[in-house]
């Protein structure tokens, strides 16, 4: 089935980002031609330089808030993966305005442009990257796609990310309902792997960087926050299958792993697997972010819906994932 990408022209927004660059590699291996558009706000040329000389790769520096550019790129594509967004809790907590601007209007315009082509008889399926943050602080132990979205106050800027991604979901589902535009939404749960930067607050690269340098690992609050980490390769396989599954269109899917681990346990695993003697230190949210920061205690997906439409067989468990990130941070000696 995944041969269906052969010869397809695929547009990846956020193509110089962590997930976008891995997705580009995956699609190129399957014979697709990829166009990567990115404004390098959180992405990096380091993620894609190795791809630029490959046949079938087109690099377009630019912003998806540039409507003319988006219209031009859409007119030359067969499939779209929309990954461009403001990401990273540390960044979002500081920049709620940019978060909303980056996450809502470009998606709105992209979907409208795709709907226009669809109505003219040229159908271009689209994947919209959403996030587990849309559930907010729903207290349920496992989150299903039909669960309520439970946000904190607007005085707490971090909710701007989940709310803005929820609007993207409403737009995607609305276009499917209005015109059957084949849009699929994936809610990612802590996707990790090589190339992910810790600069915007992502926890695993922060821990690994500290451990390989022999510096203390800073665990926020009491470290009892529960998360599930999935390898980027497993996530990409899942979203590519979703894009090729007709019954996935017009639906939202949790995408990730469902093995819960506390952040303190994660820190301990990183220290033990690197073999370094880094200390684990606790840091208040106030010191890490600001007075207004509010966190989510537990974030675990129910993957039943995903497994009901695709063959979801993740290849990496958490130990493999940590080893892979460590290897990438220490290319020679690990
Ligand atoms: N990594 C995760 O755990 C995770 C979890 C939930 C959701 N997501 C979603 O997955 C997608 C990819 O995230 P990622 O982890 O690869 O982060 P990333 O920061 O590496 O990728 C996002 C990319 O989008 C680019 N970008 C941002 N605004 C842009 C704009 N206006 N025009 C063009 N490019 C722009 C950035 O420069 C970056 O390269 C995002 O939509 C994010 O919300 C990721």
CA distances from 242 to 29, 32, 127, 175, 182 (A): 18, 16, 8, 18, 11
Å from CA of 120 to ligand 1 middle: 30
User: For 255-313, what is each residue's pLDDT tens digit?
Assistant: 999 999 999 999 999 999 998 889 999 999 988 887 778 899 999 999 999 999 999 99
Radius of gyration (C-alpha) of the chain in whole angstroms = 19
**Residue given tokens 């106050």 in the structure block:** 153
pLDDT of residue 199: 84
DSSP state of 27: H
DSSP tag of 141: S
Ligand 1 lined by 14 (C-beta under 6 Å) = yes
In three-state secondary structure terms, 249 is coil
How far, CA to CA in Å, does 193 sit from each of 32, 52, 61, 138?
A: 23, 21, 24, 27
Q: Quote the CA–CA distance of 39 and 243 in Å, as a whole number.
A: 25
Q: Which of 161, 200, 289, 312 is catalytic?
A: 161
Nearest CA to ligand 1 atom 26: 84
Report whether 327 contacts 244 (CB < 8 A).
Answer: no
- Most informative mutation of 37, 44, 51, 83 for ligand 1 (most atoms within 8 A of CB): 83
186 forms beta bridges with 129, 253
Q: Ligand 1 test: best mutation among 22, 69, 85, 234, most atoms within 8 Å of CB?
A: 85
Segments in 199-246 forming alpha helices (H): 203-213, 232-243
161 is catalytic: yes
Nearest to 262 by CA among 302, 317, 203, 332: 203
Which pLDDT value is given to residue 94?
86
How many residues are present in the chain? 334
Is the separation of the CB atoms in 229 and 190 below 8 Å?
yes
pLDDT below 70 — which residues of the chain? 1-2, 331-334
pLDDT for residue 23 = 98
- From ligand 1's centre to the CA of 333, what distance in Å? 30
Domains of the chain, each with CATH number or no CATH: 2-193+230-258+301-315 (3.40.50.720)
pLDDT at 331: 54
The pLDDT of residue 2: 59
CA 44 to ligand 1: nearest atom: 39
To the nearest 10°, report the CA torsion of 149, 150, 153, 157: -60
Work out the number of other CB atoms within 10 angstroms of the CB of residue 54. 12
- Any ligand 1 atom below 6 A from CB of 41: yes
Q: Is the CB of 190 under 6 A from ligand 1?
A: yes
**Which structure tokens are listed for 195?**
């190339």
The reply to whether ligand 1 has any atom less than 6 angstroms from the CB of 87 is yes
Packing angle between helix 96-103 and helix 159-179, nearest 10 degrees? Answer: 20
Beta strands 261-262; 226-227: pairing state? antiparallel
């Amino acid at each position: 089935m995944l041969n269906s990408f052969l010869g397809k022209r695929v547009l990846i927004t956020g193509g110089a980002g962590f997930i976008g660059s891995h997705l580009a590699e995956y699609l190129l291996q399957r014979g697709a031609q990829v166009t990567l558009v990115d404004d390098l706000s959180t992405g990096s040329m380091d993620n894609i330089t190795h791809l630029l000389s490959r046949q079938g790769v087109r690099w377009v520096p630019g912003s998806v808030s540039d409507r003319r550019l988006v219209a031009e790129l859409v007119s030359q594509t067969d499939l779209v993966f929309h990954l461009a967004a403001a990401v990273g809790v540390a960044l979002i907590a500081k920049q709620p305005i940019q978060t909303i601007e980056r996450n809502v209007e470009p998606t709105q315009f992209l979907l409208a442009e795709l709907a226009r082509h669809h109505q003219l008889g040229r159908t271009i399926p689209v994947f919209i990257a959403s996030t587990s943050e849309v559930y907010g602080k729903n207290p349920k132990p496992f989150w299903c796609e039909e669960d309520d979205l439970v946000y904190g106050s607007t005085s707490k800027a971090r909710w701007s990310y989940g709310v803005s991604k929820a609007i993207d979901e409403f737009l995607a589902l609305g276009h499917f309902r209005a015109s059957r535009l084949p849009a699929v939404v994936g809610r990612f749960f802590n996707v990790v792997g090589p190339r992910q930067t810790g600069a915007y607050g992502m926890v695993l690269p922060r821990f690994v960087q500290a451990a390989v340098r022999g510096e203390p690992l800073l665990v926020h609050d009491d470290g009892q926050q529960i998360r599930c980490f999935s390898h980027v390769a497993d996530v990409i396989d899942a979203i590519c299958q979703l894009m090729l599954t007709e019954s996935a269109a017009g639906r939202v899917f949790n995408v990730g792993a469902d093995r819960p681990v506390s952040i303190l346990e994660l820190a301990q695993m990183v220290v033990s697997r690197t073999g370094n003697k880094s200390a684990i230190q606790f840091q208040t949210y106030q010191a890490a972010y600001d007075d207004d920061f509010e966190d989510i205690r537990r974030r675990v997906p129910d993957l039943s819906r995903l497994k009901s439409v695709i063959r979801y067989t993740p290849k990496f468990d958490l130990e493999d994932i940590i080893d892979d990130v460590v290897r990438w941070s220490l290319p020679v000696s690990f």
